[in-house]
Amino acid sequence: MTLAFLNLTWPTFANGLALGGVYALMAVGIGLVFGVLRLVNFAYGQLIMAGAFALAYGSQWGFPNWASILFCFGVVLGLSILMDWLVFRPLRTHSPAVMLVATFAVAFLLQNIALLAFGPLGKSAGSLAILNAPWDVGGVFIKKIAVISVATAAGCLVILQLLLTRTPLGLHMRAASMDFRTARLLGVRANRVISGAVIISGLFAAVSAVMLSVQELTVVPAFGTQDTILVLAGVVLGGLNRPVPATLGGFAIGFANGILGGVLPSNQSQYLPSFLFAAVIVVLLVRPDGLFTRARGSVERV
């Protein structure tokens, strides 16, 4: 096979796609909120962590799978709405730096609550682990979760695209992310748009929590933090201001992460983050406005 060069095998490729799919969802979740609030939500990883713990407890308490997934969605949505009410809204008019540091504080708080409540060792979301079993696709064994992740991510993105282009709420959200003040002047209701973005972003966090807790097995208080950092890098890499480039950026970094993880020889795989971030820095230097956006002067005209 042509793919066999550099140790790249079909299962590795599939894992790359799967991680790329999940990261793309997270990228959309972060990008939507950024669009309407100009807020980079660093606590997004802690939403995913909370969802993953919900799943782990669900399986510990013997919930059927659908019930623990529902529980996970409930926890993540509740937490996102709470975060919106307590933190995002009061800070809406402040500078991006203050909002970013406020989400740091929230992330720090949630992570330490998890550390106190669930301990540092973590839990495993046992009942969904069967999805790690491989499927035989024409002689190649691919994990079920890889196929499911790619399919779910694609499905979610198509639904979101329809929502953004075919419904009034989507129109309002797009208008608000172009120019919030003008959109409000034209009758877009700010709170509804923000709630919409926060809820969709929370839904995507819950979906990502389900996928990641299967792929990464153990749920610890730091669960999702490293993923969020990578996704943030991917989102900025793609171009934060528009949903499609942001999604592509998230996908690209997830894909690169998955592939490199499988391809690098074991004595180099510990340097995986270095390779990824070196690539991110180089791309940012060449295209500071994003890889998938039309080139534009980065300095605003006065």
Partner 1 sequence: MSVVRRIPELLVPAVLILGTALLGLEVSSYLQAYFLDTLVKVAIVVALYVFIGNSGVLSFGHISFVALGAWTAGVLTVPRDQKLAIMPGLSHFLVVHNVGNIASLALAAAVGGAFALVVGLPLMRLSGLAAGIATFGVLEITNNVLTYDQSIGPGLNAFSSVPSTTGIWQAAIAALISAAVAYLYQRTRFGRMLRATREDPAAAAAAGISIYRQRLLAFTVSGALAGLAGGIYVHLQPLQAGGLSLNLTFITLAMLVVGGSGSLLGAVVGALALNGLFSFFSAATNTVDVFGWNLTVPSGTAELALGLLMAIVLILRPSGLTGGRELSLPRRRAVADLEKARATT
Rounded least distance, CB 173 to partner 1, Å:
20
Place of tokens 């009034």: 168
- Residue 109 or 217: which CB sits closer to partner 1? 109
Residue 134 bridge partners (DSSP): 143
Find out whether 135 and 147 touch, Cβ atoms under 8 Å. yes
Rounded least distance, CB 286 to partner 1, Å:
10
Rounded least distance, CB 87 to partner 1, Å:
7
Task: Please count the other Cβ atoms lying within 10 Å of the Cβ belonging to residue 194.
Answer: 21
Strands 140-143 and 134-137: antiparallel
Rounded least distance, CB 33 to partner 1, Å:
14
Find out whether 30 and 44 touch, Cβ atoms under 8 Å. yes
CB-neighbour burial class of residue 88 (10 A; exposed 0-12, middle 13-18, buried 19+)? buried
Rounded least distance, CB 16 to partner 1, Å:
20
Rounded least distance, CB 279 to partner 1, Å:
9
Q: How far apart are CA 216 and CA 129, in angstroms?
A: 10
Task: Please count the other Cβ atoms lying within 10 Å of the Cβ belonging to residue 246.
Answer: 30
- Residue 120 or 155: which CB sits closer to partner 1? 120
Name the token pair of 229: 């950092």
- Residue 100 or 159: which CB sits closer to partner 1? 100
Residues binding partner 1 (CB under 8 A): 40, 86-87, 90-91, 94-95, 97-98, 100-102, 104-109, 112-113, 115-116, 225, 229, 232-233, 236-237, 240, 270-271, 273-274, 277-278, 280-281, 284-285, 288-289, 298-300, 302
Rounded least distance, CB 138 to partner 1, Å:
38
Rounded least distance, CB 253 to partner 1, Å:
11
Map residue 218 onto helix, strand or coil. strand
Q: How far apart are CA 269 and CA 265, in angstroms?
A: 6
- Residue 33 or 233: which CB sits closer to partner 1? 233
- Residue 244 or 284: which CB sits closer to partner 1? 284
Map residue 142 onto helix, strand or coil. strand
**Of 269, 177, 278, whose CA–CA distance to 233 is shortest?**
278
- Residue 136 or 300: which CB sits closer to partner 1? 300
Q: How far apart are CA 207 and CA 213, in angstroms?
A: 10
**Of 235, 211, 237, whose CA–CA distance to 223 is shortest?**
211
Map residue 131 onto helix, strand or coil. helix
- Residue 71 or 118: which CB sits closer to partner 1? 118
- Residue 113 or 151: which CB sits closer to partner 1? 113
